[in-house]
Amino acid sequence: MSMAREHGWTLSDFLAWEAGQERRHAFIDGEVVMMTGGTQAHALIAANLLAFLRPALRGSLCRPFGSDMRLPIPDTGNSRYPDVMIDCGRFQQPEINASEPTVIFEVLSSSTAWYDQTRKLRDDESLPSLRQYVCVSQSERRVSVWTRDATGRLVPEPDLTGEDDALLLAIADIRLPLAAIYEDIGF
């Protein structure tokens, strides 16, 4: 049995415990999961996203964050660290939680692809500020996008796979070319 379930932790219990830990952990369905590293491709894709988004968002109320920014999900009691996130809420220097996550990017691996595109997607959908959820493959040029529709659901768009394709972000009319996401990946 996990430490969290054994002690009957809530999300707030976990957040308080994690504040004193040296390493980052996710809190998923009552289980504490230590975060692990990824591949060079995973790290480069995340870096490419941040490198493109920072200047593109400059001057707006939105900021890009990497996997150091925590995302608690109150409706499910889970807490995660997305690979890249755009937060359009109020900036609070000492805060370690996203204030208004608007776009979430997950870089997929063979071990996480199913989970990222199903359970994590449904968890994140419960965040009212979230307008897009984006999954980026690291094994092929493929970006899957879910955009919030008028009914409040995240609905899938056609996958982007072409060398000249670009993702239109739901904020600030930013066009994110796949070439920028996959720069130096070598497909």
Asked if residue 57 is part of any domain, the answer here is yes
Query: What range defines the domain where residue 8 resides?
Result: 1-36
Neighbours of 3 (CB within 10 A): 11
Query: pLDDT band at 23, cuts 50/70/90?
Result: low
Query: pLDDT band at 41, cuts 50/70/90?
Result: very high
Asked if residue 135 is part of any domain, the answer here is yes
Total domains in the fold of the chain: 2
- Is residue 6 located within the same domain as residue 57? no
CATH number, domain at 147? 3.90.1570.10
| Rounded mean pLDDT, 90-107 | 93
- Is residue 77 located within the same domain as residue 61? yes
Asked if residue 186 is part of any domain, the answer here is no
Sheet strands side by side (includes 132-137)? 63-65, 84-87, 101-108, 132-137, 143-148, 154-156
- Is residue 13 located within the same domain as residue 55? no
Mean pLDDT of the chain: 87
* Secondary structure (3-state) at 183: coil
Q: What's the predicted TM-score (pTM) here?
A: 0.82
**Angstrom distances, CA of residue 45 to CA of 67, 74, 167:** 12, 28, 15
Residue 173 has a pLDDT of 84
Q: Is the CB of residue 85 less than 8 Å from the CB of residue 98?
A: yes
Residue 1 has a pLDDT of 36
- Is residue 81 located within the same domain as residue 152? yes
Measure CA 18 to chain center: 19
- Is residue 92 located within the same domain as residue 10? no
Asked if residue 165 is part of any domain, the answer here is yes
Asked if residue 187 is part of any domain, the answer here is no
- Is residue 17 located within the same domain as residue 108? no
- Is residue 24 located within the same domain as residue 79? no
| Rounded mean pLDDT, 140-164 | 96
